[in-house]
Chain A
Amino acid sequence: MDSQTVLIIGGGVAGMEAARQLRLLGCEPVIVEKSDHLGGHVAGWHKLFPDMLSASSLIERMSESLDGITVYLKTQVASMNRLKDGFSVMLTNGTGLLCRAVLIASGFRLFEASRKEEYGYGVYDRVITNSDLEYWFNTGEDDRIPDNLSNIAFVHCVGSRDLKAGNPQCSKVCCMTAVKQAIEMKERFPDAEIWCFYMDLRLFGKKYEDFYINAQRDYGVHFVRGRVSEVSEDIDGRVILKAEDTLAGRQVKLKADLLVLMAGMLCNEDTAGLASMVRAEVDSDGFLRSRDNIFRINESSRPGIFFAGACTGTKTVPETVAEARAAALDIRNYLNGND
């Protein structure tokens, strides 16, 4: 097979950037995306930390760079078979293609917040998720968010670091997202008190600590160390949170007008199915298993199968972009026979 075709599964940030780079490197990338739009989760976000870059303008810019590249929307991989030196792939839209390499960039899914029943997502009117809030920033449409807010609560680690909820991993980006969203809410509701309930603040990235200090100093956001144990609805529709302030050693209650749950990141459901088609492995954390987690994150244990982005673990947008570029280079080298 002397084809230079590379199948990219997933048209999010990882898939798009990898496609752009692969074309620059002389390959013929084909993107398969199951939804009806490119950009994945990021397409639904409002602003991206730490520069507060507009997510939609980023996706627009990235989409423009794909001009001329084959993109199949609302399409999934139906089957994938390994040939002697490549793969024979059948797509759900009936297209068949032969490719030398496959890049899995299938991303993540948000933890289903309703599974943490004690927080009442989908039951109480004033409970939303981080993703719902971004949608509201973008559209202004959400009946659960009232016009006047005097107390807004953020709960970190919803479906993260939670063995019982089936995800012991830290989702890594939610702490920073909560601080960002707390600031954005304070800007919209200057008179509101904002409360972040956290177990640990894991703010590891460039300028994240600055955001934290700003949130405290310039926006007066309150940080309460303690995991919210239960939420109930009051007669007036507001929600009452119960937690322990573990620094004060006292039980605290808060009546809030809005509760935002920081839902964590899990591996996409269909990713394991994709992996099994080409006998790539799923790791103990539920994400795909890289050849190693230090030097060969973009490579699977099978020749010709590569990974980029959140399919191997939770990632920020810049990390995902960097991985997409690295994966493109790995694939180019693989096609050239240089491993």
Chain B
Amino acid sequence: MIDFGFGLSRSSAVRLDEVDLTLYRKLEKLEPGVRTCMSCGSCTATCTAGPWSGMSVRKVILDLQRERASAEGHGEVRKMLSACMLCGKCSMVCPRGINTRHLILSLCRIYEEKK
């Protein structure tokens, strides 16, 4: 077939009803506080690693809730987690009292299991 240089690109829209929430559900069990995140961004704003690494607990949670989970896991999320120094400042500022430090550790543990 002649290649005219046109193609169909995959839609970048997230299909909410088809999102694979397996990872998120696992995390919910280990750290139920994750459900109460209201995306205020306090954690991201206070994150020591954030400005240099792109680490954002808010984004990590939202990515788990929205992303289509692939077999190899969330590259972006893993990259963010690897920058965390577990200083716990995000736990201190969270207005909903989410134990974000435990949340991050739990998520790392889930990824370890997947390896």
Chain A residues with a Cβ under 8 A of chain B: 150-151, 193, 195, 212-213, 216-217, 220, 222-225, 242, 245, 247-248, 250-256
Best-surrounded residue of B12, B15, B16, B36 (most CB of chain A within 10 A)? B16
Q: How far is the CB of A232 from chain B (nearest CB, A)?
A: 13
Please determine whether A217 and B36 come into contact, CB atoms closer than 8 angstroms.
yes
Please determine whether B36 and A250 come into contact, CB atoms closer than 8 angstroms.
no
Cβ of B14 within 8 Å of any chain A Cβ, yes or no, is yes
Please determine whether A213 and B96 come into contact, CB atoms closer than 8 angstroms.
yes
Q: Which of B88-112 contact A (CB under 8 A)?
A: 96
Cβ contacts under 8 Å, A225 to chain B:
39
- Count residues of chain B with CB under 8 A from any CB of chain A: 19
Residue of A at shortest CB range from B33?
A: A217
Cβ contacts under 8 Å, B13 to chain A:
242, 250-253
Q: How far is the CB of B17 from chain A (nearest CB, A)?
A: 5
The distance in angstroms between the C-alpha atoms of A220 and B34, with both chains bound, is 10
Q: Which of B59-99 contact A (CB under 8 A)?
A: 62-63, 65-66, 96
Q: List 10 A-B contacts (CB under 8 A).
A: A193-B17, A220-B28, A222-B16, A223-B38, A225-B39, A245-B66, A250-B13, A253-B16, A254-B17, A255-B15
Secondary structure call for the B interface: helix
Please determine whether B65 and A253 come into contact, CB atoms closer than 8 angstroms.
no
Cβ of B26 within 8 Å of any chain A Cβ, yes or no, is no
The distance in angstroms between the C-alpha atoms of A254 and B15, with both chains bound, is 6
The distance in angstroms between the C-alpha atoms of A223 and B36, with both chains bound, is 10
Cβ contacts under 8 Å, A224 to chain B:
16
The distance in angstroms between the C-alpha atoms of A234 and B66, with both chains bound, is 22
The distance in angstroms between the C-alpha atoms of A250 and B96, with both chains bound, is 25
The verdict on A245 contacting B14 (CB below 8 Å), with A213-B96, A250-B66 known, is: yes
The distance in angstroms between the C-alpha atoms of A223 and B32, with both chains bound, is 16
Best-surrounded residue of B13, B17, B32 (most CB of chain A within 10 A)? B17
Q: How far is the CB of A112 from chain B (nearest CB, A)?
A: 28
Please determine whether B65 and A222 come into contact, CB atoms closer than 8 angstroms.
yes
Cβ contacts under 8 Å, B32 to chain A:
217
The distance in angstroms between the C-alpha atoms of A269 and B66, with both chains bound, is 43
**Among A220, A245, A256, contact of B17 (Cβ-Cβ < 8 Å):** A256
Please determine whether B14 and A251 come into contact, CB atoms closer than 8 angstroms.
yes
**Among B14, B28, B63, contact of A252 (Cβ-Cβ < 8 Å):** B14
**Among B28, B36, B62, contact of A247 (Cβ-Cβ < 8 Å):** B62
Nearest first, the 10 A-B pairs at minimum CB distance are: A254-B16, A251-B13, A252-B14, A255-B17, A253-B13, A216-B36, A151-B17, A247-B39, A216-B35, A217-B36
Cβ contacts under 8 Å, A150 to chain B:
17
Q: How far is the CB of A47 from chain B (nearest CB, A)?
A: 24
Q: How far is the CB of B14 from chain A (nearest CB, A)?
A: 5
Residue of B at shortest CB range from A255?
A: B17
The distance in angstroms between the C-alpha atoms of A212 and B36, with both chains bound, is 9
Please determine whether B14 and A250 come into contact, CB atoms closer than 8 angstroms.
yes
Contact with A along B24-62 (1 / 0, CB 8 A): 000010001001111100000000000000000010001
Q: How far is the CB of B38 from chain A (nearest CB, A)?
A: 8
**Among A242, A248, A253, contact of B62 (Cβ-Cβ < 8 Å):** A248
Please determine whether A253 and B14 come into contact, CB atoms closer than 8 angstroms.
yes
Q: How far is the CB of A28 from chain B (nearest CB, A)?
A: 52
Please determine whether A195 and B36 come into contact, CB atoms closer than 8 angstroms.
no
Best-surrounded residue of A150, A193, A247 (most CB of chain B within 10 A)? A247
Q: How far is the CB of B29 from chain A (nearest CB, A)?
A: 12
Residue of B at shortest CB range from A257?
A: B17
Please determine whether A248 and B66 come into contact, CB atoms closer than 8 angstroms.
yes
The distance in angstroms between the C-alpha atoms of A253 and B66, with both chains bound, is 11
The distance in angstroms between the C-alpha atoms of A254 and B38, with both chains bound, is 20
The distance in angstroms between the C-alpha atoms of A297 and B61, with both chains bound, is 45
The distance in angstroms between the C-alpha atoms of A222 and B38, with both chains bound, is 10
Please determine whether B65 and A251 come into contact, CB atoms closer than 8 angstroms.
no
Best-surrounded residue of B14, B37, B58, B63 (most CB of chain A within 10 A)? B14
